[in-house]
Amino acid sequence: LAASNEVYQRMKEADETIGLGAIYQDGNQLLAEKRAQEAEANKQMWFTIGKIVSGVVAATAAGLVGFISLRHLKTKQRFAEYLPVPKHLQEDIHFQQKEFLKWASNRKNYQRYHQYQTAKDCQRAFTQYVTSTYVPAKLSSITGYSTTDNWVIQHGLMNPLIGSYFSNLLLKKKTTLKQFGQLILTQHDTLKTYQAQLGREVSERLADDDLSDDVLPEKLPLADAYRAEIAKQAKEEIRRRSEQGRYLAQLVTERASYPEMVQAIPKEVSDVFAEVKTDALFQVDLTQIYQKHPELAHKLSSFDASDREAVLNNARQEYDPQGMNMALFFVMMNTHVSHQEQVIADTQSSSNDFGGFSGGSSSGGGVSGSW
């Protein structure tokens, strides 16, 4: 009550001396001025923040540009020291040295080739740029090659040995792409005959092989099936090696002459057999087990791809064609399938315990194979 009386008394005195109308008018003016001051203060604050942010962004951008420029400079210095680009390539409009240095200094390649700390790193990067960028551009300017020819040349140069051999010759001006491309095309045609000879050697060797040294006597009735599968996988392996440029590399890099390669055909076929024979025997035995025990095949087909591959890979590692009859083979396969079923069940149980979130395949991957 005392406070209320005090307020009333002061309001009365103010009304008598100044007037409430003037007080209200002055109050509104003061309020407007205060709001204007606050607005200006906010404006100045945001202006200051903007300057700070702009400064940070500018500094970051400048730092990034500086870092990229430094990386480019280091790359340029490394190549000048270890692998200077010769004049004939600098003058080749399809090589574009500036683009090469830009490509070499980008973060991915800079790290991939170990910051060009050695001459070998520089050589590897140079070879990659030549085969992936220079060659396609240069081929487009060369007349006389068909689209197929260009593909054969580029595919051949993807082989690491051939690509490196060509880039070294190119640096030393000992060849041109047109000359080297013609060499690849010539040897590629030659190898068609060589590949056919390998195929004939495979067939002839298998025709004379009763496989008694490879499987148990009780499994010899399957000899024809074994031979057919071995021949199939051996010829596929020969085709793979050819597509990878392994045979082409021997001729192009002069590691072997064509007569020397022909003379070594028996050795090459033996190497191919060593690579594929056990896989082929495993595939035939697996087919037999599927036919006799369709429930096993059904279980395997119900697995996802990675679980199925895990089972087959583990079984293949344990497989012994010379010491495992069909009964033991079935027991082994059944054991691996049952184990994988338990792994899948445990994985699903763990997923349910964590709210049903699945972690994907229970096998965590697997090694793919022809089986």
pLDDT per position as a tens digit, 160-178:
999 999 999 999 999 999 9
Same domain flag for 257 and 297: no
Of 61-70, 153-162, 285-294, least confident by mean pLDDT is: 61-70
pLDDT for 88 beyond 60: yes
170 with 254, same domain: the answer is yes
Q: Are residues 234 and 177 in the same domain?
A: yes
Q: Are residues 151 and 275 in the same domain?
A: yes
Are residues 329 and 262 located together in one domain of the fold? no
Question: pLDDT tier at 108 (50, 70, 90 boundaries)?
Answer: very high
Residues 75 and 105: beta-carbon distance below 8 Å = yes
Query: Does one domain contain both 330 and 205?
Result: no
Residue 75 has pLDDT above 80, yes or no: yes
Looking at the domain assignment, is residue 21 inside a domain? Answer: no
Question: Distance between CA 232 and CA 186 in Å, rounded?
Answer: 28
Which of 248, 281, 314 lies at the terminal end of a domain, its last residue?
281
161 and 273 co-located in one domain: yes
In which band, very low, low, confident or very high, does the pLDDT at 60 lie, cut at 50, 70 and 90? very low
Percentage of the chain with pLDDT > 70?
A: 78
Helices then strands, counting H and E runs in the chain, come out as 17, 0
Q: Kindly state whether residue 354 falls inside one of the protein's structural domains.
A: yes
Does some domain include residue 71? no
195 residue type, one letter: Q
Residue 337 lies in a domain: yes
Domain's final residue, options 281, 308, 336: 281
Q: Which helix (H) or strand (E) holds 258?
A: helix 258-263
Based on the fold, state whether residues 154 and 272 are members of the same structural domain: yes
Residue 90, pLDDT > 80, answer yes
301 vs 18 pLDDT, higher one: 301
- pLDDT at site 16: 62
How many whole angstroms separate alpha carbon 48 and alpha carbon 58? 15
Tell which wins on pLDDT, 353 or 40: 40
For residue 157, what pLDDT is reported?
A: 98
Q: What is the DSSP letter of 131?
A: I
In a domain, 139, yes or no: no
* For residue 66, pLDDT beyond 80: no
DSSP designation for 255: S
In-domain check, residue 183: yes
Q: What is the pLDDT of residue 58?
A: 46
How many domains are there within the chain? 2
Same domain for 155 and 224, yes or no, is yes
Per-residue pLDDT band for 367 (boundaries 50, 70, 90) equals very low
Which pLDDT value is given to residue 57? 43
Which residues, 6+ apart, have CB-to-CB distance to 299 below 8 Å?
Answer: 337, 341
Q: What is the pLDDT of residue 9?
A: 67
**Domain contains 273:** yes
Per-residue pLDDT band for 64 (boundaries 50, 70, 90) equals very low
Q: By mean pLDDT, which of 59-63, 65-69, 126-130, 273-277 is the weakest?
A: 59-63
Sign of the Cα pseudo-torsion (142, 144, 148, 153, in order)? negative
Asked if residues 188 and 248 have their Cβ atoms less than 8 Å apart, the reply is yes
Residue 303 backbone zone (phi > 0: left; psi -120 to 50: alpha; other: beta): beta
pLDDT digit string (tens) for 15-27? 566 555 555 565 5
Range of the domain at 214: 147-281
Pick the range with the lowest mean pLDDT from 106-120, 242-256, 344-358.
344-358
Give helix 97-105 / helix 119-129 axis angle, nearest 10°: 120
Q: Are 278 and 210 in contact (CB under 8 A)?
A: no
Average pLDDT, the chain: 86
> For the ranges 3-12, 78-87, 303-312, 321-330, which has the lowest average pLDDT?
3-12
Which domain-ending residue is among 237, 253, 281? 281
Report the range of poorest mean pLDDT among 28-32, 196-200, 207-211, 279-283: 28-32
In this structure, are 183 and 274 located in the same domain?
yes
Q: How far is CA 81 from CA 44, 116, 117, 119, 250, in A?
A: 54, 10, 10, 8, 32
Regarding whether 359 and 252 lie in a shared domain, the answer is no
Whether 36 shows a pLDDT value over 90: the answer reads: no
Q: Could you tell me if residue 26 is inside a domain?
A: no
Looking at the structure, do residues 154 and 270 belong to the same domain, yes or no? Answer: yes
Q: Which residue has the higher pLDDT, 54 or 40?
A: 40
Distances (CA, A) of 75 to 91, 103, 241, 296, 347: 20, 10, 36, 59, 49
The conformation of residue 295, written as its DSSP 8-state character, comes to: H
